[in-house]
A and B are shown apart, each in its own frame.
Chain A
Amino acid sequence: MQLGNLQEVIDQYIHDSQSVALEGFTHLIPFAAGHEILRQKKRDLHLIRMTPDLIYDQLIGAGCARALTFSWGGNPGVGSLHRLRDAVENDWPRPLEVHEHSHAGMAAAYTAGAARMPFGMLRGYVGTDLPAVNPQVREVHCPYTNEKIATVPAINPDVTVLHAQAADRQGNILIRGILGAQKEAALAATTLIVTVEEIVDSLEAPMNAIVLPHWVVTAIAEVPTGAYPSYALGYYARDNAFYLAWDEIARDRERFTEWITRHVLSSRDHAEFLDSLAEAA
């Protein structure tokens, strides 16, 4: 496990054309890491996330992505991800290859990936058109009952990036609250990068807590408020007003580009990004 600053860690471990999963289901979305990927102008990434959320809307709109594997691509409770839509509907700023699943399918694919199985299975996708547009969704016959079961190939990202509440000095990671498929995505990856709210002497984790031990973690960067405008339980709330405001910002190509330039590209790091938002408010 390596402890570094976010800039170095992203530069060292994320490369053009890789498959990268920034996971976190509404909670603990690694925005700071996503913004650093954007600042470093990584290209041709195959982005993987159950819910692309605003962070992938930004990466897609900024031209970082070649492909997207996902299962629900909206702005939760608000509406569309306009940059994702523009990429799919109009190829702007570049065409986006789409690999589409249901949540249950993608959860099964991550779980298989974490266990290093070739595929995940579920009683799913019955009666839907999804297998017709995603030929990766197939089926097997149960060897015991002959029942037909849907299958999805394992997802094993080159790099998974998470945000968590805390790491201890050895590099063990504690995650509390809504988990999504973070643990599965972490263990499915070749390289695991974690940003944390803080580094502490002791995690004081309850016995059955979600802890990722230091020897599965490649690198850690301490980034306070690194999930903002998503949230970190116990540290700060989700900025729902920002999610509402994003709808207007992302609707228009010029306004989006101006926002990204002003707040992300012109900021050296996440602290400066937060300052620039506070100034604009």
Chain B
Amino acid sequence: MACENSERMLHAYFDGELDLVRSLEFEEHLKTCPQCASELREQQSLRDSLRAGNLYERAPDGLRSRLRAALPAEVRPQSISTSRRPVIEWLAIAAAILIVLFLGVKVIPDIGSQKQNLVAEEIVASHIRSLQPGHLMDVESTDQHTVKPWFDGKLDFAPSVVDLAPQGFPLAGGRLDYIGRRNVAALIYQRQKHFINVFIWPEEKNDAKAPEIQTIQGYNLVFWSHDGMNYCAVSDLNTTELRQFADLLSR
């Protein structure tokens, strides 16, 4: 049995239904509560058995054929074949091919945005990982003059590090991270209870980009470029404040 106060929390945690803050709280609780820790292991073993036990009852073949017979003729699966694909669909396919041919050139820049999507997913994963206990910071300091030199010799570029405490976004520390197949700098800022990870890496082409907002799994990301560096800030903070934060950093 889980301890009295935590039973519902334990199950919600086990099912991945807690938000990050509660989930961290529960992990803290787990460290000090052997009762809950052992309950969690038992639940995992129960789940493994449920999944390994062939309990999923698939529809018998007899039911499939009875159903086919009972359903009105026009939906019987055997009555539909590819040869009956309506002319309009063929036309649509032909049109789609033509459009792709004509816009071939136009499509290429999208590969860039695809790459950005991959990077964005990596960034969210890294953000989540960083919020797990013990992963957030390599160098813990609110002093930009401690954080910046810490990166020396660890990266092939020097990220600019500014403390934004007066503007309500105090610097909390820095970390080395690996995104898009290269080492990047990660700076950690705080906004009340929210953490913001800022990832910084050099740009391939030197063109300043205005901030662009994306949302993945409930996390907000702002991408921008500035002074030859790519930036991405990620947080569960709302987009307005995150955008404001990005503006402050690019000054």
Q: Are A and B part of the same complex?
A: no
- Which residues on A are within 8 Å of B, measured CB to CB? none
- Which residues on B are within 8 Å of A, measured CB to CB? none
